[in-house]
Structure 1
Amino acid sequence: MPSNPGQAAKKPKGSSKLPEPGEVLNYSYLWEREYREGRDEGIKDRPVAVVLMTVSRDGLPLVHVVPFTTKEPGADDVAIEMPQAVRRQLGLSGERSWIVVSEWNRYAWPGYDTRPIPGREPSTSYGFLPSSLLQRVLDTMVAVGIGRPVDRD
């Protein structure tokens, strides 16, 4: 507790505000194939959607995210094409993009791999998916058996 009641307690470095389901973050996503190849860091930063928040046994908030990609999904991937209006609202580039729901990353918040958005520093958040699109993502994840997790911690 601060010695001065008017003084706020110091917050941890970086954003301490917990993300919410549907929030789109900039993150160094580690694809499952990269993980199998022995990598422990993603190759590039990309938008990801928060699909679930849980708490670890140690009491740490855990963020579960699915990646966005501008590459057409492969045969082993299950993905939902992002509506053009949503891409524009979030400020994402590219003609087309997909939300891959057949794999995901889980990490302790705030994590080392949540990154500021270039040109929007220090923000790490693009905004939120519409609730109907988030529900479609969640329903599809359940339908494919929750996917292939990559635990980043």
Structure 2
Amino acid sequence: MELPEPGEVINYSYLWRYEFEQGRDEGVKDRPVAVVVVVQAADGIHKVLVVPMTTTRPGRDQIAIEVPDAVRRQLGLKAAHSWIVVSEWNEFSWPGFDIRPITKKSGEISYGALPAGLFRRVRDAIVAGAAGRPVNRDL
């Protein structure tokens, strides 16, 4: 499986922080996630950091960026609104067990890529809120 690129949106079983704190070790629902960083560790394994996309309006404890209509259409997302939550993320070794094929795309895992400007906003928001809530899926 090819390595994803930063800004790419893939289908993934995202584990929300609150689910992790409740003792779950797998996400309840597959969803689009934006790849933020891909790094190669000293052991040669690639680590991927992803942030979730959701159709649920963000809560007061979440920092999120709304996805513009044109981007939602480009990615093939059908909901009226979507947000990229930047106040938490999952980190996992590539390829991870929680990567899922997109139902309507013949086994593909990628929806496409975020436009460069939107990706920069996501990346900058994560850096600005460096005290986010990561969930390491390799533990």
TM-score (norm 2): 0.97
Q: Deviations over 1:107-131 (max 9, x none)?
A: 1111110110001122000000000
What is the identity, as a one-letter code, of the residue corresponding to 1:131? Answer: A
Q: Deviations over 1:56-77 (max 9, x none)?
A: 3421011100000000000110
Residue 54 of structure 1 deviates from its aligned partner by 1.2
Runs of 4+ in 1 over 4 A off after TM superposition: none
| Separation in 2, partners of 1:110, 1:121 | 19
What is the identity, as a one-letter code, of the residue corresponding to 1:47? Answer: P
2:9 — aligned with what?
24
Q: Which of 110, 122, 135 is 2:95 aligned to?
A: 110
Residue 136 of structure 1 deviates from its aligned partner by 0.3
Identity %: 60
Give the direction of change, closer, same or farther, for the CA distance of 1:87–1:46 in structure 2 (3 Å limit). Answer: same
Q: Which of 110, 132, 142 is 2:127 aligned to?
A: 142
Q: Deviations over 1:29-48 (max 9, x none)?
A: 00000000000000000000
What is the identity, as a one-letter code, of the residue corresponding to 2:35? Answer: V
2:33 — aligned with what?
48
Bigger Cα Rg: 1
1:34 aligns with 2:19: yes
What is the identity, as a one-letter code, of the residue corresponding to 1:35? Answer: F
1:100 aligns with 2:85: yes
TM-score (norm 1): 0.88
Residue 146 of structure 1 deviates from its aligned partner by 5.0
Three-state SS of the structure 2 residue aligned to 1:35 is: helix
1:123 — aligned with what?
108
Corresponding residue pairs, total: 138
Give the direction of change, closer, same or farther, for the CA distance of 1:146–1:137 in structure 2 (3 Å limit). Answer: farther
1:71 aligns with 2:46: no
2:118 — aligned with what?
133
